[in-house]
Each structure stands twice: as structure tokens, then as C-alpha cells.
Structure 1
Amino acid sequence: MILITGSTGILGGHLLVYLLEKSEKLRLTYREGSDRESLKKRVLFENPALEAAWNTLEWVPAALDDIPQLELALEGVETIYHCAGLVSFDPRDRDQLLKVNWEGTQNLVNIALAKGVQTFCYASSVATIGGITETVSEEDAWDPSRTNLYATSKYLGEMEVWRASQEGLNTVIVNPGVILGTGPWNSGSGQLVPAVANGLRYAIPGSSGFVGAWDVARCMLRLVREQQFGQRYILVGNHLSYASLFAKIAAAFQAEGMQEVRAPSKQLKSWHLELLWRLDWLGARISGRKRRLSRDVARSLTRKREYDASRIREVLNFEFEPIDAVIERSVRAYLNASNP
């Protein structure tokens, strides 16, 4: 039995497709209110032949702080792909970030050890690696002074996974860059494609590392299958500026006949972001709404950093999908989701 947490997210959904194609026996945890119908549509868009396989899925309602339900979910499980997590950069979400990404992972590995689970694959983030050098590798030290609350919570989750590995659990950690794939389109990096479709006006000044969700899922499956335990792996296939990313997304829409979609015509400067996060802080204080742009995020958006993914390339002899192909697949999936 294989368990996936976070199956309705951008990564969990792609992992689910590959495992269904292999006819694996699957159990999925979900939170109250999770959009399983949208997940089904995404799965069948990827492979329409999986309709029958979808009906074999075993669903267990279990939040990461619900110990009794997690114990039920892990009964008879051999392998866990832990993709669930909270993404937020609002300082007011500090307690919830720690509760989900740190304590939730702690709960999961503790129960996995107690239940005799054999393998644990944890989807973390490149945000937990380095912070000092411009080219980041898996060996770079953690620098808490140059990070944000989200990265800290994921790093603490990693520490729980490493601790479990010392207690006998076979573990592997993947650290993807910005993930692009087939939705969901209302959260995290899934919002990038609809932002351009809806007329995004300003590009961001920095750059980052990007990767297709298909590649992340394939790497996770192969690392487990080939028993590459006790390591972490940066998963970044392409580096480019946000301005270039938005231009490529717009070009993909135009290739699908949507000539009205244009890349942002203006680019924010660093001082714009410094002003915007202060205005956002003030607006949140007055209205009580959630923060949209924190100081840490604003400053991270101006960085130009590259990630060394040579370890995964060498260990698995792996080649990442070109970014143009990733964007084209993502845009087609978004258009499919937008047309019921």
C-alpha cells in the first residue's frame, strides 16, 4: 500500500497519475473541503484511460494534526509520499506554518516508525537550502538570517525526516524549485499561468529555478524505486527571469489562439517592491485581511540565484523537460480547466 499526502496539490496530483498508471494500490489523505472533483479532472486530462483506476482509490480524511486518523491512514502502508504542506508568507500564519509543515511532518514520521512503514519520500523546497552563495547546492549550510517563515517551517520538517532516518526509516528528500504543472490554479505557483492570462501588468525583477511537476513526480518515484535513500536532491531544470517566464507563458497562450494575451509590459524595480510590501503591511493592519506581500518575499523576488541539480542528473541519469514544453503543457491544462 502506498500513501500520498497532499494529493490535491500541484505535485501530489501528478504523482497520483504516474502511480495510477502503474496500477499501484493507493490511499490518499485529504482535508475537509478538498476539491477532489477538480483533482479527478486534472488526472483524466493527463490520462483519460484512468477513469476505472480512479474508482479504486482509497480516501481517508486526515489532517496532519489528527493523530487517530493518521494512525488509521498509515495502517498497512509500506511507502509514503509526503506532499502535503502549507504555503504562506504572511507573518501572521507563523503558528499554522509550524503546525502543518513541522509538527505535521513530525506526527507523520513518528506514526510511520510505529507502524513499520518502510520508505518515506518528503517533498520539501529549494527555499530550505543555502542562502549565502548565488549558486546553491545540496551541501550549502542553512542560513536562518536569510530566509522566511515558510522556508523555516519546511526546514524543520526536513529535520524530522532526517531524525526518522536515524531511527531506521528509509528516507529521501526532494527540494524542487518553482513547480509548474496542471493546477490547482488558485494557490502557490499554480497562480502564475492564470495571472498572465488575466492581464498581469508588471513583471518581477528577479529570477529563479523552475521545474515541471511531471519531472518532480518522476524523480520521486525513481528515487524510491532505486532505493536512493539518505540524501536530498535539488530538482531544478531551468533558470530564467520572471520577465522571461511571463513572456513564455503569454507566447504559449498565443500559440493556442489567444492573441489577446500579452506579457507584462512593465517591470517592477527593487524600490517598488520595498514600497509595496510596506503599503501591503499597512493595508493588512487597517483592514484585517491577510498579507499579500511580506518584506522577506519582496526582497527574495529581486534575487538572481541558480541551483545546482547535478546530483539528481548523475544519480538517475536524469534529463529535465525544457521549460518551453513545461509551459505549453501547463497552459493547455489551464485552458482545459477553464472550459467545463
Structure 2
Amino acid sequence: MILVTGATGLVGTHLLVKLMQQNDTVRALYRTDTKKEYARKVFSSYFLEEKKHLFDTIDWVQGDLNDIPKLTEAFEGVTHVYHCAAKISFNPSHYKKLRKVNIEGTANIVNLCLIKGVEKLCYVSSIATLGESLSNAPVNEKAEWNPETPNSVYAITKYGAEMEVWRGVQEGLNAIIVNPGIIIGPGFFNTGSGYLFKKIYAGMSYYTTGTTGFVAIQDVIAVLHQLMNSNHTSQRYILVGENLSYKSVFTKIAEALHKTPPKKEASPFLMKIAYYAQSISHILFKTDRSIFKSSIRSAFSTTHYENDKIKKEIAYTFYPIEKSIQETATYFLNEQAAPR
């Protein structure tokens, strides 16, 4: 039995597709029926009508990472665990919630893996946890976390989660950590990179000058599956298909959506003004904030990531980001055109 946490998110849902195509026996942890039904819609888009029932053959368990009784129940008979669940936010006021889910929740997963004798754990982390290399050289798996860097609260708690996984390894757990870049994939347009498609479709004028790593959802799923079914253990792997500028990616997304690409370059000064304006509005009127100091730093930083280790160890070839953008945009446009 395979357990997938975060089964109704971008990675979790696409992973379920892969596992059901392989005829695996799967148990999926989910939090709300609304998210489950949306995951059904994304899942079903990969199958012909006669195969869509596979979604209901999954053993669905409703609960969260801090519900120990329900989590213990979910681990019964489980031999392998894909830990994809996480809370994503860059808002410093969400730190306690992020810590509860990302760090304490992962600790619970690790503890139950050890107690139940799980054969292997694959944990989906992020490139946000990787340190910066010296002299602007590409970042690889040897880069060390720097607590002095003004890291986002998301990065801090994902790093804390990794420490729980490595603690489990020290206690005898077979585990792998993957660090994906920004994941491009269809179906989830209110969070992560999917939100970019939504924003650009609505009309976005500005781009920032930063560069970072991007990866197609196909690559994340394929590598996770290969690593789980390999002898590789006690290792981390960076999953980045291409290092691209935000301007380049925004342009490709806009073109795929048949929209005008962002033409105006946002300056750090302009972003800081927007940050303070949002902060004042939040204090006075309790409005939501979308710009934070850590996100400004990321928007203008230029970081390149190596993918040599994973390409060498499992002879992997990455999917073109432009093709993934096209496929995601097509899904988005079809969703927009569908009857409400």
C-alpha cells in the first residue's frame, strides 16, 4: 500500500494519476471534500471515460498532518509514503500555521514511518531551502542553508521539515528528498505557478528581472516514482529543468494564453512602494497582502540551479518548460470556456 499526503494538490493529484496508471494500491490523505472533487476533475482529464472510475478505487482518508489518530489509521498496511502535503505562504503572520503543518506535520509523518516500519519515504521539498552558492555559481545539492539570509517563512519551515526527514534517516528510515523549482503544470490556478496563469490572463503589465529554476510537473512525478522504486536513499535531488528569467516565463505564458506579455519592468523601488502601501491598507482595512520583503528579494535575485546529479544517477531527461507552459495554458483556456 502506498500513502500519498497532500493528495489534492498539484503534485499529489498528478502523482495519483501516475500511480493508478501503474495499477498500484493507493491510499490518499485529503482535508476537504471541495479539494477532493477538484482533484477528481484534474485526475479525470488524464483518462478516457471508462477509466475515470479509478479515482474512486483510491482509499481516501480525510484528515490532516496533525490529526494523530486519523494519521495513524492512514498508515495501516502502508509500505511506501510520498509526502507531498505542505502549507504555502510567504506572509510572516502565517509563521505559526506554517510551522504547525510543514515542520510538526512532517515530524508526525517521519515518526509514523519509523513506528510502522515503512520501507521508504519520498519527501517533496523546494529549492527555497537551498543555500546560496559563492561567486554566483550554480546552486547544487551541496549548498548549505544560511540562517543569516532573510529567508521567507515558507523556506524556513520547509527547511525545518527537511531536518525532520534527516532525523528520521539517522534513526534508520530510508528516505529521499527532492527539491523542485517552480512547478509548471495544469489544474491548480489559485496557488503557486498556476496563479501566474490566472494573473497574466486577467492582464499583467509588469515583470521583474529575477531568474530562477522551473520544472514541469511531468518531471517531478516521473523522478519521484523512479526514486521510490530505486535503491537510492539518504539523498537529496534538485529538480530543475531550466533556469529562466521571470520575464521570459511571463512572456511564454502570455503568448500561450493569447494575451499581451508584460512590457513594463518593475523596479525594487516600485515593489517596495507597493509593499508599504499594502501594509498600510492591511493595518487600516484588514486587506490581504500579496507582496512581502522576502518575495521582493526573490523577484529580483538571479539564481541558477544545477540538475546534473539527478540526470547522472537515473539518466533522466527533462521535459521542455515551454511545452509544459503550452499544455498548462491549454488546460486553463479550456477550463475558462467550460460551462459554469
AA aligned to 2:144 is A
Taking the aligned partners of 1:179 and 1:214, their CA distance within structure 2 comes to: 9
Residues 1-340 of structure 1 mapped to structure 2, 5 A cutoff: 1-48=1-48, 50-133=51-134, 134=136, 135-146=138-149, 147-254=151-258, 261-338=259-336, 339-340=338-339
Cα drift, residue 7 of structure 1: 1.3
Taking the aligned partners of 1:193 and 1:319, their CA distance within structure 2 comes to: 25
Taking the aligned partners of 1:103 and 1:305, their CA distance within structure 2 comes to: 29
The alignment covers a number of residue pairs equal to 334
CA contact (8 A) 2:68 2:108 kept: yes
CA contact (8 A) 1:208 1:240 kept: yes
Which whole-Å deviations, capped at 9, do the CAs of 1:263-311 have from their partners, x for residues lacking one? 1121201211122222222221222234311111111110011001110
SS in 1 for 2:148: helix
Taking the aligned partners of 2:113 and 2:124, their CA distance within structure 1 comes to: 16
Structural RMSD (CA): 1.3
Which whole-Å deviations, capped at 9, do the CAs of 1:190-211 have from their partners, x for residues lacking one? 2011211111121122121100
Cα drift, residue 228 of structure 1: 1.1
**Cα distance change, pair 285–78 in 1 and its aligned pair in 2 (3 A):** same
TM-score with structure 2 length normalisation? Answer: 0.95
Cα drift, residue 251 of structure 1: 1.7
Cα drift, residue 77 of structure 1: 0.4
CA contact (8 A) 2:184 2:321 kept: no
Which whole-Å deviations, capped at 9, do the CAs of 1:11-41 have from their partners, x for residues lacking one? 1111111101001111111113542222111
CA contact (8 A) 2:25 2:58 kept: yes
**Cα distance change, pair 178–87 in 1 and its aligned pair in 2 (3 A):** same
Cα drift, residue 53 of structure 1: 1.6
AA aligned to 1:228 is H
Identity of aligned residues (%): 39
SS in 2 for 1:28: strand
CA contact (8 A) 1:132 1:143 kept: no
CA contact (8 A) 1:247 1:264 kept: yes
Cα drift, residue 47 of structure 1: 2.8
TM-score with structure 1 length normalisation? Answer: 0.95
SS in 2 for 1:334: helix
Taking the aligned partners of 1:288 and 1:118, their CA distance within structure 2 comes to: 47
Task: Name structure 2 gaps, 5 residues minimum.
Answer: none
Cα drift, residue 132 of structure 1: 4.5
SS in 1 for 2:76: coil
Task: Name structure 1 gaps, 5 residues minimum.
Answer: 255-260
